[in-house]
Amino acid sequence: MAKKFHLEILASDHPFYKGDCEMLVFPGIDGSYGILADHEAMITAVNAGELRFQLDEEWHHAVVSDGFVEITPKKVILLADTIEKPEEIDKNRALEAKMRAEEQLRQKQSLREYYNTKAALNRAMARLKVTSKFDK
């Protein structure tokens, strides 16, 4: 049986998950990070993408937006603006958001608008990527 640690996944407007976890995999700045119990303490950024965590040998999936994670040997806290289960995502709405963001990127924008648009595009792309994995 795998060693467990306490995991808290918090969206800006609600707690997503609190409980034990055997392994956490999340998208980081320079690729995916895998976390097990007794991991070295660190704080790092989370990028928009697929989040997975394992409990009792079963994987749970979610789409996460930008945020950060605090890792200690016995506890991990992941904070992000939005966190959604794949079945909660409206694929058509995500596709529309992607097209809107791509169109806005073609227009002249302030630096702040550019970064907001890039974040919206990243969220839409992450939603589409994860939902395509679970389409049947």
pLDDT tens digits along 85-122: 888 877 888 888 888 888 888 887 788 888 888 888 88
Predicted structure pTM score: 0.78
Q: Taking the alpha carbons of 12, 130, 66, 110 in that order, is the dihedral positive or negative?
A: negative
User: What pLDDT score was predicted for residue 133?
Assistant: 73
Longest Cα separation, the chain: 55
- Chain segment 31-81, per-residue pLDDT in tens: 999 999 999 999 999 999 999 999 998 999 999 999 999 999 999 999 999
